[in-house]
Structure 1
Amino acid sequence: MYPQTQQLLHDLVTQKIVPGISYALINRSEVLTQTFGWRELVPQRRQLTPGLQYDLASLTKVIGTTTVILQLVEAKRLSLTDTVQRFLPEFQDERVQLWHLLTHTSGIAGFIPNRDQLPAAELKAALLKLPVTSTFERKVVYTDIGLLYLGWIIEAIYQQPVQQVMTEQVLQPLRLHDATFTPDPARCVPTNTRYGQLLQGIVHDPKARVLGEHCGSAGLFASLTDLQQFAQWYLGQRPDLPQLISRTFIKKLYADYTHHQLGRSLGWDLRYPRQGQPLLYHTGYTGTMLMLDDELQQGLIVLTNRVHPHEQNSAFLDWREKIAQQFIAELPN
């Protein structure tokens, strides 16, 4: 199954691009999983073993926040054309709608001085004051801002912290038993070091550390088994799990939702094979990746800690792109 993709995944470790890797390849009812390499290199070298939890970084966006938003849209408690201002009156631009946030076409951007040193309430207030720039609707600019806003919209509806809502509305119903925002550090693959402290079971993203349970853009930890279960549910392969979103709605996600064919779905990026419908695709800064093909019932899950032991690892980005392209090239006819 996907021999050249597997070779590239193994090369990530043997070429020392990442310390270790856990991956899954889904081919209809068949699933192949592998875990190998090192869990950590500093302060000591420790072997990677199956079942450990990874900092998923931005995969939090599609597993948690996007799923809850789509549930609310399907239940008609939200509309994709609702304005952000309706739920977050502190935000001043009445043009921006929910679909802009989901497709990263809102144009919201700006510099926040001392951002990572601000307390949570001040950081939220500063983010909600950011202006809409000239890229509005015309360009995809991938940022955390839209998903942070969507998290606060979820909070306005549920009157609960967004991470609590994600836990109750997604993680628990889908029986993602290792998926959590409060992991046991001993079970976690570490990321980087901050101020002399190894980030193990502590979220790598600085905004997520400040915002805590009010962050919808990052913060989720999970095992490969959880990601496999989520992927199989998304592909409609797990009738034993509840239909949090209908199959009809999920199938509609394999389409471009921008106004100018910019290649983004609701919450997801799109990747296009030579023929057939696009694939859903998303990555996380820490070295995570998820790609799904509903039409052919295929999936790729990659979990690494590419920021360990050094934050700067641009080589991984080139390798990740090669792996994504190779997976698409090896899709069954």
Structure 2
Amino acid sequence: MKQEIIVAQIEKLVQDDVIPGASFAFVTATESQSFVIGDSQVQPTREPLQQNMLYDLASVTKVVGTTTRIFQLIAQGKLTFDTKVAKLLPRFKLLDVTLKDLLLHQAGLPGDFSNKHQLSQADLIEAIYQCEQPIYPIGSQTLYSDIGYILLGWIIEVFDGSLGQGMQKFIFEPLEMTNTGYHLAQPLSRFVPTECTKERGCIRGKCHDHKAFLLAGESGSAGLFSTLTDLIHFVQMMLNQGCYQGKEVLSSVAFDWLKEYQQGSRTLGWEVLQPDIYYHTGFTGTSLLVDMKRQNGFILLTNRIHPSRDNQAFVEARKEIVARFIS
């Protein structure tokens, strides 16, 4: 009954033109039920949404890719939560910041740079390394920060050489996520468009996030593309304590860490909606929920910023949908 109400809610959002369309799934440890509703785009022409189209995950990159790979490196003993960031990235000036601080968004870093649209790639990299004073005492509060997750991406590159190749080898291949990555060699028609802007036109097949775009589309904070099917595999791995099809992709100890390091409504990488319910959204209209206690999950993929980012109505409606799912 609850599922039927959620399906009806999403159908109404499409009918009311709050979003062009939606790909979503209800997931358990072994099964899933998928839905595809509406259009993939409304500008310049309407195109129907197809099965398994590619979505720009935006900040959902932070959990599907970055947090998961960092957890793997910690489980292998290559890193610890207390590893100082400056030990791995010597140009970083906040010498007391640890991996744990970055994962919890408590590193004293700004959430973003207000002048990012005036920056070149070199300027952006320099601005991150020039953060010399924390904007609040490290560890004293939570301020969601893309900058911290860009740094985590660079830390992964210290070990893997390439952020995308490391995630491919250690996360996406074991999970049979064959349509997930930063730069996918797929026809443009498979990508769901995001925002239509004066500078970039209707963005399709390239990441929307400006900082990730400056970083050649490959960043720890944003930039991954994926499909509903691939994300079902990811959620099922989480529900199975790190295992997928009998293979351990993520050590089960990671699920102890998620509880151990929880602070208020956040834990390492994830938002915590209720005990054992982990959640993350992306600016483009993507979201992922994993309920470890009830052993189910919910994936909702939309391009709510197409054609324009001025769409708070969807954000409010999604809160209601998620509240219903976990009720």
Q: What's the offset of the Cα at 1:301?
A: 0.2
Question: What amino acid maps onto 2:195 in structure 1?
Answer: N
Q: What's the offset of the Cα at 1:254?
A: 4.2
For 1:242 and 1:29, locate their aligned partners in 2 and report how far apart those are by CA, in whole Å: 14
Structure 2 counterpart of 1:25: 26
SS at match of 1:291: strand
Farther-moved stretch of structure 1 (203-212 vs 234-243): 234-243
Q: What CA RMSD, in Å, does the superposition of the two structures yield over aligned residues?
A: 1.9
Structure 2 counterpart of 1:148: 150
8 A contact 2:237–2:249 mirrored in 1: no
Structure 1 counterpart of 2:269: 267
Structure 2 counterpart of 1:38: 39
8 A contact 1:55–1:222 mirrored in 2: yes
Q: What's the offset of the Cα at 1:215?
A: 1.2
Q: What's the offset of the Cα at 1:282?
A: 0.5
For 1:197 and 1:309, locate their aligned partners in 2 and report how far apart those are by CA, in whole Å: 10
Q: What's the offset of the Cα at 1:269?
A: 0.8
For 1:228 and 1:70, locate their aligned partners in 2 and report how far apart those are by CA, in whole Å: 20
User: CA 1:83/1:4 → structure 2, altered by over 3 Å: closer, same or farther?
Assistant: same
Moved over 4 A (4+): 110-114
8 A contact 2:29–2:240 mirrored in 1: no
Question: What amino acid maps onto 1:191 in structure 2?
Answer: T
Deviations 1:29-68 (A, max 9, x none): 3421100101100000111111110001111111111111
Q: What's the offset of the Cα at 1:8?
A: 2.1
1:188 aligns with 2:200: no
Structure 2 counterpart of 1:229: 233
8 A contact 1:5–1:323 mirrored in 2: yes
Structure 1 counterpart of 2:8: 7
User: CA 1:99/1:254 → structure 2, altered by over 3 Å: closer, same or farther?
Assistant: closer
User: CA 1:82/1:226 → structure 2, altered by over 3 Å: closer, same or farther?
Assistant: same
Deviations 1:225-282 (A, max 9, x none): 0111111111118642531212x22431442625xx322111111011xxxx330100
8 A contact 1:55–1:189 mirrored in 2: yes
Q: What's the offset of the Cα at 1:81?
A: 0.6
8 A contact 1:88–1:153 mirrored in 2: yes
Question: What amino acid maps onto 1:190 in structure 2?
Answer: P
Q: Structure 2 length as normaliser, TM-score? A: 0.92
SS at match of 1:289: strand
8 A contact 1:163–1:216 mirrored in 2: no
User: CA 1:23/1:98 → structure 2, altered by over 3 Å: closer, same or farther?
Assistant: same
Question: What amino acid maps onto 1:152 in structure 2?
Answer: W
8 A contact 2:40–2:192 mirrored in 1: yes
2:314 is aligned, of 313, 316, 325, to: 316
Structure 2 counterpart of 1:108: 109
The runs of 5 or more residues in structure 1 that have no matched partner are: none
SS at match of 1:36: strand
**Aligned ranges for residues 1-333 of structure 1 at < 5 Å?**
2-109=3-110, 112=113, 114-130=115-131, 131-134=133-136, 136-158=138-160, 160-183=161-184, 184=186, 185-194=188-197, 195=199, 197-212=201-216, 214-236=218-240, 239-240=244-245, 242-246=247-251, 248-255=252-259, 257=261, 261-272=263-274, 277-329=275-327
For 2:114 and 2:296, locate their aligned partners in 1 and report how far apart those are by CA, in whole Å: 44
For 1:180 and 1:77, locate their aligned partners in 2 and report how far apart those are by CA, in whole Å: 24
8 A contact 2:97–2:107 mirrored in 1: yes
Farther-moved stretch of structure 1 (290-299 vs 129-138): 129-138
Aligned residues: 321
Q: What's the offset of the Cα at 1:213?
A: 5.4
For 1:303 and 1:122, locate their aligned partners in 2 and report how far apart those are by CA, in whole Å: 32
For 1:124 and 1:242, locate their aligned partners in 2 and report how far apart those are by CA, in whole Å: 37
The runs of 5 or more residues in structure 2 that have no matched partner are: none
User: CA 1:310/1:128 → structure 2, altered by over 3 Å: closer, same or farther?
Assistant: same
Q: Percent identity?
A: 36
User: CA 1:256/1:19 → structure 2, altered by over 3 Å: closer, same or farther?
Assistant: farther
Deviations 1:84-138 (A, max 9, x none): 1111121122221111100111121277574234332331121121231125322
Question: What amino acid maps onto 1:209 in structure 2?
Answer: F
Question: What amino acid maps onto 2:144 in structure 1?
Answer: Y
For 2:257 and 2:153, locate their aligned partners in 1 and report how far apart those are by CA, in whole Å: 20
User: CA 1:134/1:148 → structure 2, altered by over 3 Å: closer, same or farther?
Assistant: same
For 1:105 and 1:190, locate their aligned partners in 2 and report how far apart those are by CA, in whole Å: 33
